[in-house]
Amino acid sequence: MIPVQGVENQTIAVLGLGRSGRATAAALTEGGAHVVTWDDGADTREQAAADGMTVLDLTREANWDGVSALITSPGIPHLYPRPHPVIAKAYELGVPVDNDIGLFFRSFATRDWESYDITPRVIAITGSNGKSTTTALIHHILREAGRPTQIGGNIGTGVLSLDPAHDGEVVVLELSSYQTDLARALTPDIAVFTNLSPDHLDRHGGPGGYFAAKRRLFAEGGPDRAVIGVDEIEGRYLADHLAMAPSDDRVIRISSGQKLERFGWSVFSRKGFLSEYRKGRQVASIDLREVKGLPGEHNHQNACAAYAATRALGLAPREIERAFHSFEGLPHRSQRVAEIDGVAWVNDSKATNVDAAAKALTAFRNIRWIAGGMGKDGGIEALQPFLDHVVKAYLIGHSARDFALQLGAVPYEIAETMDQAVARAAAEAQPGETVLLAPAAASFDQYPNFEKRGEHFTALVQALRP
């Protein structure tokens, strides 16, 4: 646990008592604060009280006497589409609102660091797609290189549940737009922006607000080095805004598909090869085509981001390359779960939007595609250019029929459920084909989250084994 600094003898309110909220309450208490809590769920409040927490109804103004700050869980809206009533009450009363990310960055450094030989570092990764894989890959590279490291944030351990840093340790954090949007302190040593595609727009009041939330990690975080994906206009804008000149190597531009030679420092992949350029000269190259844990151009972009971040820490290209080959990938992200009778089965349940699904569809050939769920604005119409390799689509969930109208000439079947989709794909798939779960939709119509959807798909596939 990382005790929160600067809160001794203060009364701090915590809104939301899920994983991060409970960890925040514990870290605040460890830091000497008096913590009061609230959650909209009656069962959650009851459990919190049973665990010894002070539960106060923060919708009532009388319970705000002496409260010096409100710490909210990232999933709770603080601005759009409208603030949660408790957060609105904090604004009305002038009580500062923060989240656990802000508390982490203001509490991570301690006086113990004065005795360390190597100052601990923080790498923070944000973006629309690929940030979980990039975060896990950076952590894996560091671990394989023998560097002390922890991983947390939006993946794995909540930030305040991490251990205090050791000498020379590197903490690798995945940060969502929900987390970066509100945090009052953002001070990573290295910040990574993977890419941007429309997502969570209702929460951020549109694409501008969504990008602005991610941009805060760089514009307000002031990292020593910024690794920026420049395959979209927002990334190019961000890189241009941060760099003093094209030769400024504090900004490392990355790309999947573009050749970036004119800048002070760049890393890009083309036709399966990763290249590192400095001041117009190639200094390293890695063949990514045989790296089984990173299939497809989207994962090659993740490899570029992880390579750039770890090179910025001083790791050598060859030790990064060795770590690439031992990386097995993350569950639900282009995860090869089985090969049965010559048919590959791939779980990319994390592909919850069109952009992520497009990347998955370009990574394989001869695809039997399982798609559908709770579709997002625009459906899958934007996927038309990526359907050439789809042999047949099996559509599930709430948006199945809407998706069917946007498939053009691609053969399809309304399967409704995952069970039916897997059964039909298994009956029809031929050796050399890939059955790909890349839903291009949220899971909430049939599953509590994309993990449960992917787990169900994997279990059904494993049951097909002879």
Query: Measuring CA to CA, which residue among 284, 288, 322 is closest to residue 302?
Result: 288
Question: Which tokens go with 118?
Answer: 């190597």
Where do we find the tokens 């399809």? 412
pLDDT tens digits, one per residue of 194-229 = 999 877 778 888 899 999 999 999 999 999 999 999
DSSP string across 29-54:
HHTT-EEEEE-S-HHHHHHHHHTT-E
34 flagged as catalytic: no
pLDDT, position 227: 98
Looking at the structure, give the CATH architecture of the domain made up of residues 109-326.
3-Layer(aba) Sandwich (3.40)
Of the residues 99, 154, 302, 353, only one is catalytic, namely 154
Query: Measuring CA to CA, which residue among 52, 324, 307 is closest to residue 194?
Result: 307
Where do we find the tokens 């390579």? 307
What strands lie across the sheet with 335-340, from one edge to the other?
Answer: 335-340, 343-347, 434-437, 367-372, 390-396, 412-416
pTM of the model: 0.84
For residues 221 and 440, what is the distance between their CA atoms, to the nearest angstrom? Answer: 32
154 flagged as catalytic: yes
Q: Taking the chain, what is the end-to-end CA distance rounded to the nearest angstrom? A: 46
More confident residue, 354 or 201: 354
Give residue limits of the domains in the chain. 11-98, 109-326, 335-462
For residues 1 and 241, what is the distance between their CA atoms, to the nearest angstrom? Answer: 36
Residues 6+ apart with CB under 8 A from 243: 250, 251, 264
Instruction: Count the alpha carbons within 13 Å of 13 in the hemisphere toward its beta carbon.
Output: 26
pLDDT tens digits, one per residue of 86-111 = 999 999 999 999 999 999 999 999 99
Q: To 10 degrees, what angle do helices 100-107 and 19-30 make?
A: 40
Q: If pLDDT is split at 50, 70 and 90, which confidence band does 295 have?
A: confident
Are the CB atoms for 363 and 296 separated by under 8 Å? yes
pLDDT, position 404: 97
Of the residues 89, 139, 140, 200, only one is catalytic, namely 200
pLDDT, position 308: 98
**Mean pLDDT, residues 302-327:** 97
Question: Residues within the annotated binding site?
Answer: 127-133
Superfamily of the domain at 11-98: NAD(P)-binding Rossmann-like Domain (3.40.50.720)
**Mean pLDDT, residues 291-303:** 90
350 flagged as catalytic: no
Of the residues 78, 84, 89, 131, only one is catalytic, namely 131
**Mean pLDDT, residues 28-36:** 97
DSSP bridge pairs for 51: none
Question: Residues within the annotated binding site for ATP?
Answer: 127-133
The third-level CATH classification (topology) of the domain covering 335-462 is Protein-Tyrosine Phosphatase; Chain A (3.90.190)
Q: Tell me the pLDDT of the chain averaged across its residues.
A: 95
